[in-house]
């Protein structure tokens, strides 16, 4: 069929015609093949212009129409409508060529512009003839609307839509709705209080049945298309059940953790359990948790160090001890002997030194009366579920302790006459007095644990016997009580003793003996203990020789220092070659130089320089070079043992291959530290409980906490030294009295207050105990919701600029330089001063003293500034005037207020009038941007003041104005997460960084993604009236969509020609929307029209050319290319 | 010496959501740039088939400009990344046929970057003037 094409070029007044000779273009097009009508017209988009097309179609029998005018993004739909009214399919029969934005507005030469217009039109004429019939798809619209952001814009839009009877999901990131407006005090120019007009809106939102309020929540993903979106929303755990919380605030009264309140922009502190402000909606409190503190994560037993430190700080020593007892039964003992891996990772060291965590634990444990210490509530288990524990060391007793707390009947069998294992026999009394350990063992017994002393397992009573006697589970924790041997000549001589045996003898019988000149061999904790004990029982000289260099010694550094202080000589990098014996008695040792202790793979593999030797005279040799497990307990039973005597068990569950038999502590790990043994015992207890209840040992077993998202180090954490442990004087350390005396209460309180609360909430559980409504649940998890909505309104607001990097204004350096938001909080009745305008105490940023006598308000901080934001933030002039008024009103008429401005922009309704009123109140207006704020006085009246420097551009004079307080009117900035939010919702970002509306004048609330609308300051700086107006506009757009109930979706989607498709499936992998499926029967790929968005990923790749995007087919694009280049190729 | 200065022919395939909009913005902002560029509107840089580029060169284009959204900002999630891979390959292939790398430009221009669009077109026109006419179409025709 012969095509009959009509062409129309628009003058657009003179917008096009001033650069493009429109009649000439029309004349040219008339010469092109198939063109039957070619006209130019003043305004094609006007009604007469459109009528021209509508009439020409029947009159000339047109089959295709091309219009050259503005951008198709402007009027493509207008002309499609005209063509449709003319009776043609608008997709088949119409093409729009842009000769305004792309030609007349960007080229200056009329010949060039006219030629380019001809070229573009020629391409359009070629293309239009190749277009095909297309019909838009119609889809139903989900009647729900999602609103993101609960500031005044979000609240207003939600209320408007809800009042029309439609459902709204309002998602707010903060724990309360309200947004910036509710942080303000008064609003200009009417001076009504933001809370008075804002809180009723909040309450209405909270109570409206059509509004689902999701606070403390964020949209993670938006999928679907206009009318049919699905939003994935993560509701962060509040740790407080909103259905039970009454908002009474009893929880926050007892919370020991302080942190700057975000709502008060750091002018006031809040607790870890908090509510942003008293009128918050919802009234539900929230617990602020970060990842667990590094101390808690590092502790093998996961002791809640941050928690008990917080409780100590609050003076709650009993609660602190009880909290420790949740994770270990030996707070007093470990508070003395733990090497404290927690302190190595304490983040306080970034400020000064790590906290003295171990000593605080000891302090808490020493403050309570252990005899009356209340027992936790225990639910007794069946008498049949009896558990036996072999060994009463830290691992055995811990397992028994935790099992007893779970209600199991536990019997502990101990070979010796005392309980406590190595804690009792291996640690000297001056470090761990027996009474401390005994009170803790007594507490374990009070829980119902049966302790059988002098009852070795092995020969007379085997492990098998225990099972036969009805113990359903047995936990082995026999430790490593055998000494390792040197394996050198002379080891059996008189005067040579093994370290652990020596300590045991001293600890249990008190009758260990040494000569006058003692040499200790070994560099570990036991060797140091041995040396210090030898000194105490009468040795005149004690020398310690070890293989390791000083920094490699496994002994704990503090202990090495204590030993040196007590006169013990330490000789590093020497290994014993032989013990020199005379008449059966040791008389000395020959050492050789050790050149290396560990090999490249960090394995113990000492090397020696055999030539370098020395002989050392002595009368006693104490060998403390390691321990071995004693395997006598396993005699006569079927027990899976390692060849070196250790028990083989699973590293997480501590279960051995033999059902019911578990093992932990040093008999499993080898020599280690007490807290590790405690941790083993606890984990084993959990396994035994699961085993006895017939559960899988591993399934859903809680993982160790990890993560490094911690509370930032507070800016008021100033360097303060770590508390020093009081000790008995060196000259009085003769006997076995405890060397360390423990912190005084004052020391403990000060030390505890150094904690920077890495995890924010310390999980001290005081709030749980104080909540009568039982609303608190520390185990709550985030909730993920999928919401089906038809439209989305993004109302995420703005961030205030942080002026800290602008050093010239001294923000952060001078305590009385404020940001506008800080000033708002200061003036607000719920703020730090209950509304009084006071100066800040330079010593304490949370303390405010007296009213200022003079204040400078600096406009345009970061706005209208090429170094920051070129745009005007639109609100500052007006709120600056408001501040001036508030100062005059609250502080008194005599307070001097200076406004340093560039231009006063008082453009809104009632704004200019407000400006005049404030001028009348005696506020001084200085036309000139302040260049600097300094405290360097140049004259007596500047002493002790902040001096604002500026040029008064009206008089041309440089000014120095001394004031008490400076307020910086900072710019409104795009939110820091604007880019992420833009990606989530498919919104573009403008050059200023705010979200980009579809058209700056005519589509101020629409975005590039149909069905996603904008409201408020996320689109650009705005005051409250404009924000509310835009919110109402966005609400009306959403409602229009909803009330129509259906939506037409452009038909430019992919289609796969089933005759051509070879079924290679490449397109399926490329499709970002999973819109292509494979039809197995026919062996081809098939597009789902409803899901396809027409991106063309498939068409751009399809090797056979089967996949095509409708309206962007190869033939159509080729037509355009040929049209553009035909003149050139013809030449 | 009065020979008319060489004016390169540039075909631009622009993503509807960013670079095409940026071209509109350049117009609205009255930014002046050389008239050598002729725009073909695409829905996404990822739908620019290598055929379109080859066809342009064969029909006599001296340069081809593909404009897409900044990485991460694609209206269709990742079409621009597909364009990037495709252009990298095309550069390899085109070079073997004597079409210099600098004749095919892929640039990210966001909707708000009208000035970046004008600058890119100006720079590309300048560069193509240095390179001179693309010989391929003439040789192919001959």
Cα torsion A633, A637, A638, A639 to 10°: value is -10
Residue A266 lies in a domain: no
CA pair distance A570, A584, nearest whole angstrom: 27
Which residues of B are less than 8 Å from A1118 in CB distance? 52, 55
Quick one: tokens of A408? 């199991």
Q: What is the ipTM of this complex?
A: 0.97
**3-class DSSP assignment, residue A183:** helix
| Same-domain status, A818 and A917 | yes
What is the overall mean pLDDT for chain A?
94
A1114 touches chain B (CB under 8 A): yes
Q: Would the pLDDT of A1058 be above 80? A: yes
Closest residue by Cα to residue A416 from A293, A529, A517, A504: A504
Query: Please, which pLDDT band fits residue A9 given cuts at 50, 70 and 90?
Result: very high
Rounded to a whole number of angstroms, the distance between the first and last alpha carbons of chain B is 27
Q: Beta strand A168-172 with A145-148: parallel, antiparallel or unpaired?
A: parallel
Of A1020, A1125, A1126, which to mutate for an interface test with B (greatest number of B Cβ within 10 Å)?
A: A1125
Query: Mean of the pLDDT values across residues A956-979?
Result: 96
Restricting to B residues 87-106, those with a Cβ less than 8 Å away from any Cβ of A are: none
CA pair distance A83, A529, nearest whole angstrom: 99
In DSSP notation, A646-691 reads PBP--TTT-B-SSTTEEE-THHHH-S--HHHHHHHHHHHHHHHHHH
Q: What is the 3-state secondary structure (H, E, C) of A858-908?
A: EEEECCCCCCCCCCCCCCHHHHHHHHHHHHHHHCCCCCEEEEEECCCCCCC
> Residue B53 is part of a domain; what is its CATH number?
3.40.50
Number of structural domains, chain B?
1
Range of the domain at A1102: 1053-1109
pLDDT in tens, A282-294: 999 999 999 999 9
Which residues of A are less than 8 Å from B20 in CB distance? 73
Restricting to B residues 110-129, those with a Cβ less than 8 Å away from any Cβ of A are: 110-113, 118
| Same-domain status, A862 and A919 | yes
Of A577, A598, A626, which residue sits at a domain end? A626
Residue B122 lies in a domain: yes
**Sheet containing A854-861, strands listed edge to edge, beginning at the edge strand earlier in sequence:** A817-819, A965-970, A854-861, A896-901, A924-927
Residue A877 lies in a domain: yes
What element of type H or E holds A751? Answer: helix A745-752
Other Cβ atoms within 10 Å of A600 Cβ, number: 7
Partner residue facing B17 (CB), from A109, A1008, A1070? A1008
Q: Residue holding tokens 């185990």?
A: A779
Cα torsion B55, B58, B61, B64 to 10°: value is 40
Query: Mean of the pLDDT values across residues A636-647?
Result: 86
| Same-domain status, A496 and A561 | yes
pLDDT below 70 — which residues of chain B?
A: 1-3, 138-142
A991 touches chain B (CB under 8 A): yes
Contact assignment for A109 to B35 by CB distance below 8 Å: yes
Q: Measure A71 CA to nearest chain B CA, in Å.
A: 7
Question: What's the Cα-to-Cα distance from B131 to each of B59, B99, B125, B137, rounded to whole Å?
Answer: 18, 10, 10, 15
| Same-domain status, A536 and A615 | yes
**Cis (ω within 30 of 0) for the bond into A189?**
yes
Which residues of A are less than 8 Å from B11 in CB distance? 1121, 1124-1125
**3-class DSSP assignment, residue A837:** coil
| Same-domain status, A152 and A119 | no
Rounded to a whole number of angstroms, the distance between the first and last alpha carbons of chain A is 30
| Same-domain status, A920 and A989 | no
Taking the model in full, what pTM does it have?
0.84
Query: Mean of the pLDDT values across residues A818-836?
Result: 95
Q: Higher confidence at residue A786 or residue A1090?
A: A786
Contact assignment for B49 to A1099 by CB distance below 8 Å: yes
Q: Residue holding tokens 């294992």?
A: A421
| Same-domain status, A852 and A896 | yes
Partner residue facing B82 (CB), from A113, A116, A1070? A1070
pLDDT in tens, A48-61: 999 999 999 999 99
Which residues of B are less than 8 Å from A112 in CB distance? 35
A508 touches chain B (CB under 8 A): no
Q: Report how far Cα A785 is from the mean position of its chain's Cα atoms.
A: 20
Q: Would the pLDDT of A1109 be above 70? A: yes
Beta strand ranges found along A921-996 (DSSP E): 924-927, 930-934, 946-952, 957-963, 965-970, 972-974
Restricting to A residues 745-804, those with a Cβ less than 8 Å away from any Cβ of B are: none
Closest residue by Cα to residue A740 from A361, A306, A307: A361
Query: Mean of the pLDDT values across residues A441-447?
Result: 96
In this structure, are residues A863 and A871 in contact, taking their beta carbons and an 8 Å threshold? Answer: yes
Residue A1129 lies in a domain: no
Which residues of A are less than 8 Å from B113 in CB distance? 991
> Minimal Cα distance from B32: which residue of A?
A106
Residue A472 lies in a domain: yes
Residue A1126 lies in a domain: no
Partner residue facing B9 (CB), from A120, A986, A1128? A1128
CA pair distance A302, A308, nearest whole angstrom: 12
**3-class DSSP assignment, residue A37:** strand
Number of structural domains, chain A?
7
Range of the domain at B90: 10-141
pLDDT in tens, A296-306: 999 999 999 99
Of A143-157, A468-482, A605-619, A725-739, the poorest mean pLDDT is in A725-739
Of A136, A169, A202, which residue sits at a domain end? A136
Residue B27 lies in a domain: yes
> Residue A81 is part of a domain; what is its CATH number?
3.40.50
Partner residue facing A991 (CB), from B28, B72, B112? B112
Residue B5 lies in a domain: no
Q: What is the pLDDT of residue A1127?
A: 56
Which residues of A are less than 8 Å from B18 in CB distance? 988
Partner residue facing B26 (CB), from A106, A979, A986? A106
Quick one: tokens of A232? 């994935």
B75 touches chain A (CB under 8 A): yes
| Same-domain status, A498 and A472 | no
B24 touches chain A (CB under 8 A): yes
Partner residue facing B35 (CB), from A107, A1099, A1120? A107
Residue B114 lies in a domain: yes
Contact assignment for A100 to B27 by CB distance below 8 Å: yes
Partner residue facing B40 (CB), from A73, A109, A1117? A1117
Of A973, A993, A1020, which residue sits at a domain end? A973
pLDDT in tens, A896-914: 999 999 999 999 999 999 9
Other Cβ atoms within 10 Å of A308 Cβ, number: 31
> Residue A363 is part of a domain; what is its CATH number?
1.10.1060.10
CA pair distance A701, A28, nearest whole angstrom: 80
The phi, psi pair for A294, rounded to 5°, reads: -60, -35
Residue A261 lies in a domain: no
In this structure, are residues A244 and A250 in contact, taking their beta carbons and an 8 Å threshold? Answer: no
Question: What's the Cα-to-Cα distance from A69 to each of A45, A60, A75, A113, A202, rounded to whole Å?
Answer: 9, 22, 8, 13, 48
Residue B54 lies in a domain: yes
**3-class DSSP assignment, residue A707:** coil
| Same-domain status, A847 and A957 | yes
Which residues of A are less than 8 Å from B110 in CB distance? 988-989
A556 touches chain B (CB under 8 A): no
Residue A855 lies in a domain: yes
């Amino acid at each position: 069929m012969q095509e009959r094409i009509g062409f129309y070029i628009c003058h657009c007044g003179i917008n096009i015609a001033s650069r493009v000779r429109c009649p000439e273009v029309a004349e040219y097009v008339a010469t092109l093949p198939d063109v039957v009508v070619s006209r130019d017209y003043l305004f094609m988009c006007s009604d007469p212009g459109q009528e021209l097309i509508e009439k020409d179609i029947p009159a000339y029998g047109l089959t295709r129409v091309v219009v050259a005018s503005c951008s198709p993004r402007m009027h493509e739909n207008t002309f499609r409508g005209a063509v449709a009214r003319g009776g043609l399919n608008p997709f088949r029969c119409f093409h729009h060529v842009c000769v305004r934005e792309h030609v007349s507005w960007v080229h200056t030469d009329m010949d060039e512009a006219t030629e380019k217009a001809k070229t573009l039109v020629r391409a359009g004429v070629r293309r239009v003839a190749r277009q095909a019939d297309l019909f838009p798809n119609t889809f139903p619209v989900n009647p729900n609307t999602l609103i993101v952001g609960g500031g005044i814009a979000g609240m207003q839009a939600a209320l408007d839509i809800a009042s029309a009877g439609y459902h709204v999901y309002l998602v707010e990131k903060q724990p309360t709705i309200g947004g910036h407006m509710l942080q303000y005090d008064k609003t200009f120019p009417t001076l009504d209080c933001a809370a008075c007009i804002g809180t009723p809106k909040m309450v209405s939102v909270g109570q409206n049945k059509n509004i689902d309020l999701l606070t403390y929540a964020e949209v993670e993903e938006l999928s679907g298309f206009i009318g049919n979106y699905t939003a994935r929303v993560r509701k962060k755990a509040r740790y407080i059940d909103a259905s039970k919380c009454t908002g009474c605030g009893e929880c926050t009264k007892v919370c020991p953790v302080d942190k700057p309140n975000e709502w008060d922009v750091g002018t006031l502190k809040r607790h870890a359990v908090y509510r942003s402000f008293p009128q918050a909606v919802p009234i539900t409190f929230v617990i602020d948790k970060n990842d667990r503190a590094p101390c808690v994560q590092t502790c093998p037993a996961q002791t809640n160090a941050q928690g008990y430190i917080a409780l100590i700080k609050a003076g709650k020593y009993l609660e602190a001890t009880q909290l420790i007892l949740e994770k270990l039964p030996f707070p007093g003992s470990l508070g003395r002997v733990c090497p404290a891996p927690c302190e190595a990772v304490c983040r306080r060291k970034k400020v000064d030194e790590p906290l003295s965590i171990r000593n605080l634990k000891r302090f808490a444990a020493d403050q309570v009366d252990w005899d009356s210490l209340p027992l936790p509530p225990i639910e007794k288990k069946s008498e049949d579920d009896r558990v036996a524990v072999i060994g009463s060391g830290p691992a055995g007793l811990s397992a028994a302790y935790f099992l007893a707390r779970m209600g199991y009947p536990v019997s502990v069998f101990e070979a010796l006459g005392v309980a406590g294992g190595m804690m009792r026999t291996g640690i000297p009394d001056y470090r761990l007095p027996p009474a401390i350990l005994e009170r803790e063992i007594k507490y374990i017994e009070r829980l119902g644990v049966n302790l059988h002393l002098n009852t070795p397992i092995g020969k007379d009573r085997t492990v098998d016997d225990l099972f036969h006697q009805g113990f359903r589970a047995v936990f082995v924790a026999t430790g490593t009580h055998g000494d390792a041997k040197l394996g050198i000549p002379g080891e059996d001589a008189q005067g040579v003793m093994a370290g652990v045996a020596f300590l045991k003898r001293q600890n249990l019988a008190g009758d260990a003996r040494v000569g006058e000149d003692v040499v200790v061999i070994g560099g570990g904790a036991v060797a140091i203990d041995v040396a210090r004990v030898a000194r105490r029982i009468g040795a005149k000289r004690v020398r310690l020789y070890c293989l390791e260099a000083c920094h490699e010694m496994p002994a704990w550094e503090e202990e090495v220092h204590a030993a040196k202080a007590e006169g013990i000589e330490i000789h590093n990098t020497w290994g014993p070659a032989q013990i020199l014996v005379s008449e059966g008695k040791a008389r000395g040792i020959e050492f050789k130089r050790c050149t290396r202790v560990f090999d490249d793979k960090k394995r113990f593999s000492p090397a020696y320089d055999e030539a370098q030797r020395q002989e050392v005279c002595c009368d006693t040799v104490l060998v403390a070079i390691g321990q071995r497990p004693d395997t006598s307990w396993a005699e006569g039973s079927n027990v899976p043992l390692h060849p070196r005597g250790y028990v083989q068990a699973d590293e997480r569950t501590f279960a051995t291959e033999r059902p019911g038999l578990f093992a932990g502590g040093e008999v499993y790990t080898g020599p280690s530290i007490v807290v590790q043994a405690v941790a083993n015992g606890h984990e084993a207890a959990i396994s035994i409980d699961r085993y006895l209840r017939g559960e899988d040992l591993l399934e859903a077993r809680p993982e160790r906490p990890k993560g490094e998202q911690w509370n930032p180090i507070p800016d008021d954490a100033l360097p303060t030294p770590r508390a020093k442990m009081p000790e008995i004087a060196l000259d009085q350390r003769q006997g076995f009295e405890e060397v360390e005396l423990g912190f005084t209460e004052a020391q403990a309180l000060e030390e505890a207050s150094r904690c920077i609360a890495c995890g924010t909430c310390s999980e001290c559980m005081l709030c749980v105990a104080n909540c009568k409504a039982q609303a608190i649940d520390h185990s709550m998890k985030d909730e993920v919701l999928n919401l089906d909505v038809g439209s989305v309104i993004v109302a995420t607001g703005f961030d205030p600029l942080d002026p800290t990097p602008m050093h010239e204004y001294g923000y952060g350096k001078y305590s009385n330089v404020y940001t506008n938001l800080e000033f708002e909080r200061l003036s607000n009745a719920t703020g730090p001063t209950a509304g009084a305008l006071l100066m800040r105490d330079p010593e304490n940023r949370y303390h405010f003293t007296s009213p200022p006598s003079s204040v400078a308000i600096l406009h345009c901080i970061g706005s209208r500034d090429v170094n920051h934001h070129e745009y005007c933030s639109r609100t500052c002039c007006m709120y600056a005037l408001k501040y001036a008024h508030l100062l005059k009103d609250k502080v008194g008429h005599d307070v001097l207020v200076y406004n340093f401005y560039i231009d006063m922009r008082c453009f809104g309704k009632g704004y200019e009038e407000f400006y005049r009123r404030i001028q009348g109140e005696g506020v001084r207006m200085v036309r000139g941007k302040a260049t600097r704020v300094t405290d360097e006085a140049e004259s007596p009246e500047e002493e002790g003041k902040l001096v604002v420097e500026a040029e008064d551009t009206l008089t041309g004079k440089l000014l120095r104005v001394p004031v008490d307080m400076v307020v910086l009117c900072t710019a409104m900035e795009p939110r820091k997460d604007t880019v992420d939010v833009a990606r989530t919702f498919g919104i573009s970002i403008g050059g200023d960084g705010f979200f980009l509306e579809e058209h700056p004048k005519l589509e101020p609330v629409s975005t590039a993604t149909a069905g996603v609308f904008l409201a408020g300051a996320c689109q650009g700086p705005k005051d409250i009236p404009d924000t509310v107006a835009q919110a109402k506009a966005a609400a009306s757009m959403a409602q229009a969509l909803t009330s129509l109930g259906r939506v037409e979706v452009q038909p430019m989607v992919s289609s796969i020609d089933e005759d051509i498709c070879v079924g290679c499936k490449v397109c399926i992998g490329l499709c970002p929307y999973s819109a292509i499926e494979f039809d197995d029967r026919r062996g081809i790929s098939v597009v789902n029209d409803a899901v396809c968005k027409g991106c063309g990923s498939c068409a751009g790749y399809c090797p056979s050319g089967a996949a095509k995007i409708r309206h962007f087919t190869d033939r159509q694009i080729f037509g355009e290319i040929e049209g553009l280049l035909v003149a050139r190729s013809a030449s | 010496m009065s020979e008319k200065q060489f004016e390169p022919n540039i075909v631009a395939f622009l993503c509807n959501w960013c670079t095409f909009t940026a071209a509109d913005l350049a117009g609205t902002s009255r930014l002046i740039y050389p008239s050598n560029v002729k725009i073909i509107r695409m829905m996404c840089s990822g739908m620019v088939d290598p055929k379109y580029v080859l066809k342009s060169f064969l029909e006599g284009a001296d340069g081809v400009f593909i404009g897409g959204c900044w990485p991460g900002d694609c209206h269709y999630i990742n079409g621009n990344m597909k364009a990037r891979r495709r252009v990298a390959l095309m550069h390899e292939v085109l070079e073997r046929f004597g079409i210099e790398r600098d004749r095919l430009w892929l640039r990210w221009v966001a909707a708000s970057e009208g000035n970046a669009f004008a600058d890119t077109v100006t720079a590309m026109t300048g560069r193509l003037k240095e390179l001179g006419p693309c010989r391929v179409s003439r040789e192919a025709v001959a």
